[in-house]
Chains A and B, each alone.
Chain A
Amino acid sequence: MRNSLLTLLALTALGCGPDEGPAADEAGGPATPSEETPASGAAEEVRGETLEAGSSGGTFLARVTPLVDPIPMNEAFSVSLSLLDPETGAPFTDYDEVSIDARMPAHKHGMLRDVGLTPQEDGSMRADGLLLHMYGHWELHVDIRKGARFERAQISVRLQY
């Protein structure tokens, strides 16, 4: 198991198709690999594939780049998290709180730890302390709170042998 290949996949099959109702549109669709290059100034770092998803209400775009490749099983790792205005691509800052978490919906559990977010000079955030302790399908939840409202962007990843 230790030598197994860990692969991060976008789970396009997990989202609802156009004929399956409003879920895909409202949820911003499944995570898809981004064509954007990693943020400048970190070229020396090992980075995984950047994934992104729109929030459920279309308020922001969440972009997640693992700062490790592949994502390890049962070891803490970090990601770069950027929130962007979906129309202009500018950093999105119109929120009071932001958090990132990972859950395994089929198992009804998630990570057992909080993730620390540290603002970076380029407007992104570094999220330290993610830990995926099982192989399988995980969902990264990027939640913002603005006043009394919550809104989520959800990104699917699969940790495979």
Chain B
Amino acid sequence: MLVTLALLLAPAAAPQQPAGEGPSHLGAYLSTVAGLARPVAVAFGPHLERPHALFVATRGAGDSSPPLIQVFGAEADPDRSAPLLGSLGEGWLERPAGLAVSGEGDVFVTDALQRTLWHFPSGGGEPAAAASAPALTTPAGVDVTGSGDGQLVVVADPGAGSVKLFRAGSPSPEPLGEGILVRPRGVCFIDGPAGQTQIAVCDSATHRIHVFQLDGTHVLGFSQLGPHPSLLSGPADLEFADGKLFVADRENHRVQAFHSGASIGELAYRFGVHAIRPGEGAGALHYPAALAVSEDGALLALAEPMDDRVQLFGRAPGAEPVEDPSRAAIGPPAAHFGPDISSSGVYVATVSPESHQIQIHDLRGKEPAKISDVASFGTRFGMYRTPRATWLSSGGQALLAVDEGNSRLTRSALRVRPQEPLNADPELARHLDGVDLGAVTGRPFWPGAVAALAPGTNNELILVTDRATDSVLMLDKDLVPIGTLAGDEETGPIRGVAGLSPATLGVASTILVVDSGGHGARGAPQGRVFEFGPSGAVLRTFGEGILVEPDGVTARENRIWVTDRATDRIERFERQPGGAIEHVGGFGGRGLGPGEFHDPRGILAMDDGRLIVLDHGNHRGQIFDPDHLTLIAGFGGRLYIEPLKSAATWVPLQPKSDRNGDQGR
């Protein structure tokens, strides 16, 4: 993995300065609210006697830490921590994604799993679903302005490729940006010309900001992919304050403030330094995913779910930060392993979405050696925009890739030479053909995972998950759709489709599909795995009560492994005589040591028996001998694999109690 410097500026340790006392800017680091279970959204608003309380939506980390909204008394004082004032939403939320608080204290929360916009009234009491499917497909960021009949609520809907504007409490929205937006994540109201209210949207697939009139008229779009000032990489959220648009430039690990008005789109300033060491903070940023600015402009909050924290920034003198030239290096975005891995023969393919490439590795040795990067960013056929998954077959000669920005499946040939000495080949791939998944299905399609059965034969079956509809599209060898996998009446629907993998049942092939949300009740997310037969019928589900937020799945012979993002564990299942699948143990837990993980995603059981886990949040992969529960090797970011190397290799993993109290392997 590349260890890359992102845009680095001064760490903003300037003294605080109240607004209104000469030129000042937002961006001086104040304090950190730590120990939050994957904070995914933030907002400021009135709570009790505090006019600018900090609301934080957390995704949770299992039974002991359910999804909810916590309220803190944040202050613009570096010497005072933010006390917890209360919480709401527990028992209602499953996968919060966006958060906004009105001037009256009404709280609006989007839940991507429930496909719902929740309204928690300011006076307390039970929430109400302000909108749900089909008005919302996969809601993300949300903003609110006004009140009563003049209230406007806008929701970014990356599953639909549009934003939805709700007027005066109506559950029926007006879609905006169709045909322009691809994966809108963040949205906010801004002050336009002559006092008009407009809507600004950040699109994480096109890496652009778009501005719309309330009637849907597209005003303009600006920026594009890149690491340099004013360019963006995976913008995740935005907020309007100080007459500027503050953008959480997620994969550049910084915040950029753009002018509004006549010079809209011009960069005003930027702040944030890329956190290099594990857990580094105090102004150093690591994938900031959401931001909010208090009404008085005194505080800016940044949520970093990969580090379980919210950092608070205040004001500093001057119109913009002063750059530190000693840290002003600029480079392409850093790359995380994950969310997917595949192998065939001695070759392994990994996905690094922020690099917009698929990496091909040779695994003849103890550790994978990268031999090629496939494709580059773009919209033309043969290019990717945010690749999500890959499938390698035919001894490494055939590659499938799906990218969410183009909603495309691309089929490529790789010129691998396993009989020759290991060698890098930048021209390894030739792109053969592909299919526009949105066009072929006639609906917005959000690809997430891909696999193939019987590749290279006339019976080839290609499977692609669709996060917009929580189903799996089946295509034949000619890329023609031939069916869909989904839950049935007995199992209920898939909610939050994630990884998939072929498996075997006797001599037949089956298909495992991860249902990351499962059939759990509100407030009790419980994942599971579906097993589909060759005909597409549901054979069984398994993992209920064990899995919380499963993501990757892999199978070899009678063994099945599943990664769990919420518990940072790997769970192991075994097929029993008769076909049933039972949980037989697992290992893991949050940490940097051998067999410890942070947001494990892709997982792969190789033909030679090695088990590879993409330890996504730790910027590394770990290779295990699952028969002996030993770590064979680690690969990836130097600072993150040091804790593995400092331990002796072939370290036996400590068996951990599984969630049923049994001893797992």
Contact = CB atoms under 8 A, between A and B. Distances in A.
Given A21-B394, A152-B433, A27 B413 contact: yes
Contact of B435 (A14, A23, A107, A149): A149
Interface in B479-512: 479
B398 to A, nearest CB: 7
Given A14-B427, A56-B433, A147 B440 contact: yes
A140 to B, nearest CB: 12
A128 interface: no
B382 A22 contact: no
B397 interface: yes
B456 interface: yes
Contacts of B456: 22
Contact of B427 (A20, A22, A137): A137
B665 interface: no
B432 A27 contact: yes
A43 to B, nearest CB: 34
Given A22-B413, A26-B413, A108-B376, A150 B394 contact: no
B415 interface: yes
A52 interface: no
Binding site of B, secondary structure by majority: helix, strand, loop or mixed? mixed
Contacts of A106: 426-427
Interface band, chain A: 20 to 34
Interface of B: 373, 376, 380-382, 394-395, 397-398, 408, 411, 413-417, 426-427, 429-437, 439-440, 456, 478-479
B397 A152 contact: no
Given A22-B456, A101-B380, A148 B397 contact: no
A97 B373 CA distance: 28
A44 to B, nearest CB: 34
Given A21-B394, A22-B398, A151 B415 contact: no
Given A147-B439, A147-B440, A23 B373 contact: no
B479 A105 contact: no
Interface string A67-93: 000000000000000000000000000
A99 interface: yes
B415 A152 contact: no
Contacts of B397: 20-23
A45 B249 CA distance: 52
Given A149-B435, A152-B432, A21 B380 contact: no
Contact of B413 (A14, A16, A145): A16
Interface in A1-28: 14, 16, 20-23, 26-27
B4 to A, nearest CB: 15
Contacts of B434: 149-150
Given A21-B395, A106-B426, A108-B373, A148 B413 contact: no
B433 A20 contact: no
A144 B39 CA distance: 45
Nearest to B440: A148
Contacts of A148: 435-437, 439-440
Contacts of B415: 16, 20, 23
Contact of B431 (A99, A147, A152): A152
Interface in A117-152: 137, 141, 143, 145, 147-152
Contacts of B431: 152, 154
Ranked 9 nearest A-B pairs via Cβ: A56-B432, A23-B413, A148-B439, A148-B440, A21-B397, A150-B381, A105-B427, A148-B436, A106-B426
A57 interface: yes
B432 A26 contact: yes
Contacts of A103: 382
B430 A27 contact: yes
Contacts of A150: 381, 408, 433-436
Contacts of A20: 397, 415, 417
